[in-house]
Amino acid sequence: MSLLKHAKQYLANQSKYAHLNAFVSLAEPSKLLSRGETSTSDHVKTRFHDVTDKPIAIKDNICTKDLKTTASTGILKGFTSPYDATVVKLLQDAGAVVAGKTNMDEFGMGSHSTHSHAGPVKMYRHTADEEKSAGGSSGGSALAVASAQCWAALGTDTGGSVRLPAAYTGVVGFKPSYGLLSRWGVVAYANSLDTVGILGKNVGDVGAVFDKLNAYDPQDPTSLPPSTRARLEKDSTRSSTPLRIGIPLDYNITTLQPAVRQAWLRTLRFLWEQGHSLHPVRLPATQHALSAYYILAPAEASSNLAKYDGVRYGSRAEGIDGTPESVLFAKTRGQGFGPEVQRRILLGAFTLSAQAIDNYFIQAQKVRRVVQQDFNNVFSTQNPLVEGTSESAEEVDKVDVIVCPTAPTPAPSLANVKDQDPISAYMNDVFTVPASLAGLPAISIPVQITPEDQTAEHADYAFDESVGIQVIGQYGDDKLVLEVADAVA
């Protein structure tokens, strides 16, 4: 099919699936069409896994100068960035087209893309089906890819926000190692965890986008410097087959739904049949990772969001000019921030307060360190960011990658999650936050539950029943993680 035909198909789907609320703003159709007209290449055959001329959707917390950047929050409504984020610039330099900005949970805080100033993202697995959660917080990006409204999408993943929506919508979602992709121009949620991630229909497409974005950015102080990148490159030339696959026993929790457990087992059996070996591993700190995450992320958020006060940043509440500063701040923040964001700010301000910091924030930092050590104990390669050797006291079976579910359940119904208490919503992140706390590369790939269910009617609509299976690797082993994902998908 020609590129023009594809561009027209993406645009047609943008109208057809507008009710899913995946986008908060769309690029001018002419931007997509003009590329289609001038490009002579065949979209599928000669340009496979190449970003040139491809429409890529951008999560609305990543700055673009042509389209608004609201992070789905009221306090940034109407904000247009004077510059493009580095990741957007890199994509455009590589010839890609920005398709639009995608809906999300406000500032990235949430797991179902329901906490949005632009209204919730809605997913339908089948036409007559009930509304499902598209996952969050990059639910708009994931759904835009799943419903073929764009070729690929960028999201952000702080504690699972690329992988969870990928799992719920049936697409591939990749969170690279922390520090590889630039955060310059990305609206901060929790700096020490925030990672730009990539969503696509297959691993090859995701890998192609990753290759364009994986570059040092002097504007981002946490961007991995060239010397360390060179070292990672050298280390990753080791031969990768057959692989030692780790099965984390601590992830086999009682709330894991049977369909997810089946898909996990099937994936492991498949890898074993390919000649790889399977090894049970223990990651005991996993059970504390979630609590630690929900201390650390809100703590960083409360500090990051302090600047939105209606004076330095953010749209000021109406009719309060001339009131004392404290009133102006309170009204602006009360109106501009949604309830979940307010909850996180309060939580964060509390855990950082003098009477609570020792019992909460400091403890959570310690748990984070133990989670990192857990991973370092089981991986066969040394973490390149850790000095010295990580020999653990007891002899444990070392592995190359870990394979586990992305979430305990398939996509839940939207009605159920709307009235969910916050703690239950946080539980969705139980399998994704450990890799975030350790900064490790992790990818979610869709594994079908019932492949025969797919009908011709839904052929362009990848919403057949699937669950997400996650591959986690040692820091810097991003290429290996993509390779294993490609073998499984």
By annotation, the residues acting in catalysis are 59, 137, 161
Q: Which of 120, 159, 170, 348 binds ligand GLN (CB under 6 A)?
A: 159
For 34, residues 6+ apart whose C-beta sits below 8 A from its C-beta are: none
Residue range at the interface with ligand GLN (CB under 6 A); choices 107-115, 144-152, 305-313, 351-359: 107-115
Q: Which of 55, 160, 338, 441 binds ligand GLN (CB under 6 A)?
A: 160
Backbone angles phi, psi at 348, to 5 degrees: -65, -45
Size (the chain), residues: 489
111 touches ligand GLN (CB under 6 A) = yes
Q: How far is the CB of 73 from ligand GLN (least distance, A)?
A: 13
Whichever of 189 and 431 has its CB closer to ligand GLN, that residue is: 189
Report strand pairing: 23-26 vs 172-175.
unpaired
Q: What is the DSSP string of 348-408?
A: HHHHTSTTTTTTTHHHHHHHHHHHHHHHHHHBSSPPTTS-S----SS----BSEEEEESSS
137 touches ligand GLN (CB under 6 A) = yes
Whichever of 110 and 207 has its CB closer to ligand GLN, that residue is: 110
Residue range at the interface with ligand GLN (CB under 6 A); choices 36-44, 159-167, 243-251, 328-336: 159-167
Spatial CA neighbour of 439 closest among 183, 148, 172, 57: 183
297 touches ligand GLN (CB under 6 A) = yes
Spatial CA neighbour of 402 closest among 263, 282, 288, 238: 282
Q: Which of 161, 302, 372, 444 binds ligand GLN (CB under 6 A)?
A: 161
Cα gap 148→470, rounded to integer Å? 23
Give the x-and-dash track for 427-466 against ligand GLN (CB under 6 A). Answer: --x-------------------------------------
314 touches ligand GLN (CB under 6 A) = no
- In the numeric block, which tokens belong to residue 115? 């906490």
Spatial CA neighbour of 442 closest among 416, 414, 417, 472: 472
Q: How far is the CB of 324 from ligand GLN (least distance, A)?
A: 33
Cα gap 13→5, rounded to integer Å? 12
Whichever of 136 and 246 has its CB closer to ligand GLN, that residue is: 136
Whichever of 114 and 381 has its CB closer to ligand GLN, that residue is: 114
For 130, residues 6+ apart whose C-beta sits below 8 A from its C-beta are: 124, 413, 414, 415
Cα gap 399→481, rounded to integer Å? 13
DSSP letter at 322?
Answer: T
110 touches ligand GLN (CB under 6 A) = yes
Q: How far is the CB of 191 from ligand GLN (least distance, A)?
A: 12
- Which amino acid is located at 374 in the chain? D
Whichever of 374 and 429 has its CB closer to ligand GLN, that residue is: 429
Q: How far is the CB of 62 from ligand GLN (least distance, A)?
A: 12
Q: How many residues bind ligand GLN (CB under 6 A)?
A: 14
Residues in the site for ligand GLN, rule: CB under 6 A?
A: 108-111, 137, 156-161, 189, 297, 429
